[in-house]
Amino acid sequence: MKFSSTLLFMLTPAMVMGLLDQKMKAKGKRYFGTALDAWHLSGSDQSNIKMIAGADFGAITHENSLKWDAVQPQQGNYQFGNADAVVNWATSNNRLLRGHTLVWHSQLPQWVHNINSASQLTQVIQNHINTVMGRYRGRIYAWDVVNEVFEENGTFRNSVFYRLLGENFIDIAFRAARNADPNAKLYINDYNLDGPGPKIDAMIALIGRLRSRGVPIDGVGTQAHLILGQVGGVQSQLQRLAGTGLDVAITELDIRIQTPVTAQKLDQQYSDYQTVTRACLNVPRCVGISVWGISDKHSWVDSTFPSYDAPLLWDDWFNRKNAYWGVDNALN
Ligand code: XIL
């Protein structure tokens, strides 16, 4: 069923609360979420964003403002203003928060890249995690403790973390995280886990080793930055990830369309979003889905993949797209 946006506008806020999120919860899942940053909540589109985030999303991920370069740009100099704004909005609106992310090679300040002693790097990781997670203890439901540790061929990425500490950097990070907030769910997160191949094989093998070493880990996140028409493998790979014994979550879903965007491709996007939503519903260990933003207007896809566009559920003018109804249909 398609609602007109005029009709939705006439409903009271209480009546529109939690459309997708509420339906997701009715299916036994924990949330349907999105990514946001402080500027979305204060910029010129804030009324649309707050209305939509209030109506459809039960979990919020900081798009950028919890990343290392945002919160600790220089050693010991912590900046929490933008991260706090998102936490405060989500908390006062009763949303869950997913913390993204603690140890990642990207959006990592130069001073960390420059470290060349293993013991110093260990301390720096522990301090960062203690300080950032400690600040929000009890308020952030799940954390992406490490992000994107693998190359596409399944070898470890050549980051400062891996170069100095080997695989042990992952153990160090998860142990520090459990210590900083014992009740938070701790995730490893990565992309291109949507089809078979060496990367997901390496992820599954790593999770096995972490668990056999007693490393505290609760979940694996699959980012799911997908391409139109290439979503058929999501459910079987999600099932394989769940087979590790961890919770699984779809953490950064978007489905980008090669330009030119046509009506036919937007119809295909309806069925692709339906397929991915069903994948989570069909895998009992899948706890929730987060999309990577609200409106196509603000998506990272425009600048990152210039020949692609229109990956999200709302268009540039904050109208619901067919893609939105694909999710909705899967949840009905
Ligand atoms: C992206 C943000 O959306 C952009 O605004 C930023 O410029 C770069 O990072 N994988 C992740 C996310 O884990 O943190 C990335 O977010 C998208 C890919």
Tell me: the pLDDT tens digits for 58-117?
999 999 999 999 999 999 999 999 999 999 999 999 999 999 999 999 999 999 999 999
Boundaries of domain holding 191: 7-331
Q: Is residue 1 part of a domain?
A: no
Mean pLDDT (whole number) for 320-331: 97
| Residue 67 Cα: closest atom of ligand 1 | 14
pLDDT of residue 14: 40
Question: Is the pLDDT assigned to residue 13 strictly greater than 80?
Answer: no
Q: pLDDT averaged over the chain?
A: 95
39 lines ligand 1 (CB under 6 A): no
223 lines ligand 1 (CB under 6 A): yes
Mean pLDDT (whole number) for 124-143: 98
277 lines ligand 1 (CB under 6 A): no
**H helices present in the chain, as ranges:** 5-10, 13-16, 19-26, 38-42, 46-56, 68-71, 81-92, 110-113, 118-135, 160-165, 168-180, 198-212, 234-242, 263-282, 301-304, 322-331
| Residue 293 Cα: closest atom of ligand 1 | 3
| Residue 148 Cα: closest atom of ligand 1 | 13
64 lines ligand 1 (CB under 6 A): yes
Mutate to test the pocket of ligand 1, among 60, 64, 104 (most ligand atoms within 8 A of CB): 64
CA of 109 to the centre of ligand 1 (A): 15
Q: Is residue 243 part of a domain?
A: yes
299 lines ligand 1 (CB under 6 A): no
Q: Is residue 164 part of a domain?
A: yes
pLDDT digits (tens, 9 = 90+) for 121-132: 999 999 999 999
Kindly list the catalytic residues.
252
CA of 98 to the centre of ligand 1 (A): 14
63 lines ligand 1 (CB under 6 A): yes
**Contact criterion met (CB below 8 Å) for 291 and 25:** no
Number of domains the chain is built from: 1
Name which residue sits closest to atom 16 of ligand 1, judged by CA.
63
The whole-angstrom separation of Cα 131 and Cα 140 is 14
DSSP state of 297: G
Question: Is the pLDDT assigned to residue 9 strictly greater than 60?
Answer: no
CA of 307 to the centre of ligand 1 (A): 18
Q: Is residue 105 part of a domain?
A: yes
**Contact criterion met (CB below 8 Å) for 96 and 139:** no
- Stated pTM of the model: 0.95
User: Which SS3 state, helix, strand or coil, does residue 92 take?
Assistant: helix
235 lines ligand 1 (CB under 6 A): no
CA distances (Å), origin 292, targets 167, 252, 255, 295, 301? 28, 5, 10, 9, 10
Q: Is residue 145 part of a domain?
A: yes
Long-range contact set of residues 205-211: C-beta below 8 Å, sequence gap at least 24:
206/149, 206/167, 206/170, 207/244, 207/246, 208/244, 209/167, 210/170, 210/171, 210/174, 211/244, 211/245
Q: Is residue 214 part of a domain?
A: yes
Q: Is residue 2 part of a domain?
A: no
Q: Is residue 300 part of a domain?
A: yes
| Residue 144 Cα: closest atom of ligand 1 | 13
pLDDT digits (tens, 9 = 90+) for 174-225: 999 999 999 999 999 999 999 999 999 999 999 999 999 999 999 999 999 9
Mean pLDDT (whole number) for 244-249: 98
User: What CATH number has the domain bearing residue 297?
Assistant: 3.20.20.80
pLDDT of residue 18: 55
Report percent pLDDT > 90 for the chain. 95
